[in-house]
Amino acid sequence: MRITKIFSVFPFLLAFAVCVSAQDISGKYEGTADVQPFGKLAIKAEIRQSGDKISGVFDTPLGAATIIEGSFAGGNLKLTIDAGGDDIFFNGKFVQEKLVGEVSGETVKGTFELTRIGDVSPELDLSYVLLNSKEKWREDLRFFADELPKRHKNAFHTATREQFEKAVADLDKQIPTLNDTQIVFGMAKLFEMIGDGHTSLHWNWAFDSVPMRLFWFGKELRVRKASRDFPRLNGAKLVKISGVSVEEIFKRSQPFISQGESPQLVLSANASFLTYPAFLHALGLTKDANKATYEFVDAKGKRFSLELKTVPKGSKIEWLNPYKTAPLWLQNEDKPLFFTFLKDSQTVYVNFQSYPRRSEFRKFSDQLFAFLDKNTVKKLVFDFRLNGGGDFTRGRDFFIEKLKQRKSLTEKGKLFVIVGRWTFSAGMSNAADFKNNFGAISVGEPTGQKPNGYSESRNFRLPNSHLEFSVSIDFYKFAEKDTAGLMPDKLIEPDWKSYQTGRDPVLEWILAYPEVK
């Protein structure tokens, strides 16, 4: 949904020009930021100064954030902050143990005042860490158990408070007998009890995965792409892990996946989780959180086993894909937005993968609608299959509002949206906007997120391990009826034969749709 990291704004309130250039502003701070459109927000901050450089971490009611970059020189500290895709600027002064100043940006404006209350921690490590300390894990568990009910819109809409508190107490008792990985996944299960896809522990940021990607095509779990180091994996069917069938592992994985969204989200999450040996270790399937033994059936129908080890995050991997030519929806995967004109059918295809900065989104929108205004277009397609979320107001501002001014493009049979299991959060919201505003024809499989439910996530950080977790702070209703996912008008489920040959039955169906005279 709308990931408002604008709160990151306040963090960097250190935007502070220090009165004396030699002044060190390092320390722990508490105070408030009065920033429109959010009002007055309570802030706790930990700031470190090293020469003219500033780093730190902040906690606000809108979420936790780290300082991305900043410089301190000549008594002034100037910061440019990437707040959810917008540039936010801070300037201020350090006066009598207080940081005071102004915050500004395209979407926010206000002031802040923070008072230094103590020295900075000896080590301000903002990376995710495994603790090897039972007491520190217990502190993280208590922090989570106390804070989640306060910050969630309605934390006990699925499990009762009593059920939640009992599960927390049970894990607390078990911690002395568990290793770090088991504790992390024990906490992950607690988050999933809440029952909405926006409330979760981001454990995948703390562990590495093996170099393959999986996808459920019907009842087959296929390798949709693999490292070039393992060519036999390309297009193989995964059947077992450590001797246990993937069907059985699917059942065992359910407590770690939110059951409050669509079945498509469960399929997507399971396929992803199985590439993490740490997750398999939590299920008791491997003794090592960094490697696992997988059993496949290759393209020739022969079984083989392979021990795969994790690769560090950020590693450059050369991927093999089963198709020779990628279908249009899997091209330009590094671009948040792109469009192309299919001349034969006079169709404009827009791949809406994610939400770039507002300035970049505005530029793309201007180019798209300039093209639409100058050319004869019989069909307009917005593809949301890779859209996992962001700030849904941008989709409304730069697509929906402009389409309202061009009624010829929204006539029945001209406007289409494509959705799938990876369509989530803001992606689902904007796909629903196209249907609700224009009656756009939707094609594909149900979205990963339900149209009515708790969302609008805020991210926070556990105090010791620094693992981030998200909670839902609002309830949205995008459809008259409650359904398990935003349901397409034309259901076309992904199939392996089409995928491996690079075909896209969804787009083919749209292009063959009879032209409305």
- The 10 Å CB-count burial string (b at 16+, else e) for 488-516 is beeebebebebbbeeebbbbebbbebeee
How many residues are present in the chain?
517
* 355 and 291 in a common domain: no
Q: What is the pLDDT of residue 451?
A: 96
Cβ-based neighbour number of residue 76 at 10 Å: 17
Give the mean pLDDT of 488-510: 97
263-311 per-position pLDDT tens digit: 999 999 999 999 999 999 999 999 999 999 999 999 899 999 999 999 9
* 244 and 96 in a common domain: no
* Domain termination residue (choose one: 102, 118, 134): 118
Q: What is the pLDDT of residue 102?
A: 87
Which residues form the domain of 346?
328-449+485-512
Cβ-based neighbour number of residue 173 at 10 Å: 9
Q: Of 278, 258, 285, 260, nearest to 269 (Cα)? A: 258
* 312 and 332 in a common domain: no
Between the CA atoms of 187, 155, 420 and 320, what dihedral angle is there, to the nearest 10 degrees? -20
Domain contains 152: no
Domain contains 401: yes
Q: What is the pLDDT of residue 517?
A: 65
Between the CA atoms of 112, 116, 121 and 122, what dihedral angle is there, to the nearest 10 degrees? 120
Between the CA atoms of 252, 256, 257 and 260, what dihedral angle is there, to the nearest 10 degrees? 110
Q: What is the pLDDT of residue 87?
A: 74
Q: What is the pLDDT of residue 68?
A: 78
* 342 and 316 in a common domain: no
Q: Given the structure tokens 């060190």, which residue do they identify?
A: 24
Tell me how far apart the alpha carbons of residues 143 and 44 are, in angstroms, rounded to a whole number.
Answer: 15
Q: Residue 18's domain is classified under what CATH number?
A: 2.40.128.120
Q: What is the pLDDT of residue 12?
A: 39
Q: Which residues contact 162 (CB under 8 A, 6 or more apart)?
A: none
Q: What is the pLDDT of residue 83?
A: 65
Give the mean pLDDT of 316-321: 96
More confident residue, 239 or 112: 239
CB 100 within 8 A of CB 115: no
Q: Is the pLDDT of residue 127 over 90?
A: no
CA atoms within 13 A on the CB side of 85: 19
More confident residue, 113 or 131: 113
More confident residue, 244 or 206: 244
Confidence of residue 516 (pLDDT cuts 50, 70, 90): confident
* Domain termination residue (choose one: 320, 338, 366): 320
Q: Which residues contact 224 (CB under 8 A, 6 or more apart)?
A: 213, 214, 215, 321, 322, 499
Helix 134-151 to helix 161-174 angle (10° resolution) is 170
Confidence of residue 7 (pLDDT cuts 50, 70, 90): very low
Domain contains 470: no
* 402 and 267 in a common domain: no
What does pLDDT average to over the chain?
Answer: 90
- Return the top range by mean pLDDT from 10-14, 256-260, 270-274: 270-274
- In this structure, of 436-450, 463-477, 501-515, the range with the lowest mean pLDDT score is 463-477
Q: Phi, psi (5° rounding) for residue 269?
A: -65, -45
CB 25 within 8 A of CB 14: yes
Q: What is the pLDDT of residue 6?
A: 43
* 101 and 239 in a common domain: no
3-state SS assignment for residue 65? strand
Residue type, 406: R
Burial class, 354, CB count within 10 angstroms (exposed 0-12 / middle 13-18 / buried 19+)? middle
Tell me how far apart the alpha carbons of residues 427 and 475 are, in angstroms, rounded to a whole number.
Answer: 16
3-state SS assignment for residue 266? helix
Q: Tell me the DSSP string of 432-462.
A: HHHHHHH-PEEEES--SS-SEEEEEEEEEE-
Kindly state the DSSP code that residue 397 receives in the 8-state scheme. I
Q: Is the pLDDT of residue 337 over 50?
A: yes
Q: Is the pLDDT of residue 425 over 60?
A: yes
3-state SS assignment for residue 239? strand
* 350 and 313 in a common domain: no
Burial class, 287, CB count within 10 angstroms (exposed 0-12 / middle 13-18 / buried 19+)? exposed
Q: Is the pLDDT of residue 16 over 80?
A: no
Cβ-based neighbour number of residue 484 at 10 Å: 16
Confidence of residue 3 (pLDDT cuts 50, 70, 90): very low
- For 460, the token pair is 């926070």
More confident residue, 468 or 214: 214
Tell me how far apart the alpha carbons of residues 93 and 473 are, in angstroms, rounded to a whole number.
Answer: 33
Q: What is the pLDDT of residue 125?
A: 53
- For 370, the token pair is 């300039």
Confidence of residue 135 (pLDDT cuts 50, 70, 90): very high
Domain contains 340: yes
Confidence of residue 123 (pLDDT cuts 50, 70, 90): low
* Domain termination residue (choose one: 320, 349, 367): 320
CB 344 within 8 A of CB 513: no
Q: Is the pLDDT of residue 20 over 60?
A: no
CA gyration radius for the chain?
A: 25
3-state SS assignment for residue 353? coil
Confidence of residue 99 (pLDDT cuts 50, 70, 90): confident
Is the peptide bond preceding residue 11 cis, with omega within 30 degrees of 0?
no
Quickly list H helices, 63-197.
Answer: 134-151, 161-174, 180-193
* 232 and 340 in a common domain: no
Q: What is the pLDDT of residue 302?
A: 96
Domain contains 185: no
Number of domains in the chain: 3
Q: Residue 307's domain is classified under what CATH number?
A: 2.30.42.10
Q: Residue 428's domain is classified under what CATH number?
A: 3.90.226.10
User: How wide is the angle at C-alpha 38 spanned by C-alphas 479 and 396, nearest 5°?
Assistant: 40
